[in-house]
Amino acid sequence: MTTPFADAAETNAASYIDDPIDHIEPLEEETSQAVGLIEKFVLLLDDSKNPRLTLQCLKLVLPSGIGYMEGSSMAQVAQRCGVTKAAVSKQCIQISRSLGLPPSRHMRTDAQRETARSVNVRRRSYE
């Protein structure tokens, strides 16, 4: 003789309770992206002729602006690393492109750099 009792989980009466684990699992993708970014930076640093400059520029490029919060500027980084401000700017551009980061608020955008370049070309043609 069978009993009419059934497991509540097997009936339509069972309801879904939001489980926190459902919200944690997507972090694996974010962690993977972070690890990929770190790997790219390590390779960039390893290939660099001036690792100190690369590290200082990374601090300027990061969206948090940590380099600027420390009171650094491109001119100060250039002076500390023994290079020109243009070299610092170029390194910052290379880092942001290599890591897929947008230009920091202290950097010119691609459009702004192109405008400045075309203005400089026109000035040189008049000289």
Residues 29-41: what's their mean pLDDT?
83
What local confidence, expressed as pLDDT, does residue 109 receive?
A: 81
Here the tokens at position 50 are 């001036």
Chain centroid, CA 79 distance in Å: 25
pLDDT at res. 93: 92
Higher pLDDT, 123 or 51: 51
Write the CA distances from 93 to 76, 125, 126, integer angstroms. 17, 27, 29
Q: How many other C-beta atoms lie within 10 A of the C-beta of residue 57?
A: 27
Q: Which CATH architecture has domain 51-127?
A: Orthogonal Bundle (1.10)
The pLDDT tens digits for 77-103 are 999 999 999 999 999 999 998 888 888
In angstroms, the CA 89 to CA 103 distance is: 11
pLDDT value of position 37: 83
* DSSP structure class, residue 109: -
What are the tens digits of pLDDT across the range 40-80?
Answer: 889 988 998 999 999 999 999 888 878 888 888 899 999 99
pLDDT greater than 90 at residue 18: no
Work out the angle at residue 106's Cα, subtended by the Cα atoms of residues 91 and 36, and round it to the nearest 5 degrees.
Answer: 55
Backbone φ and ψ of 103, nearest 5° = -60, 140
The ranges assigned to domains in the chain are 51-127
- pTM equals 0.64
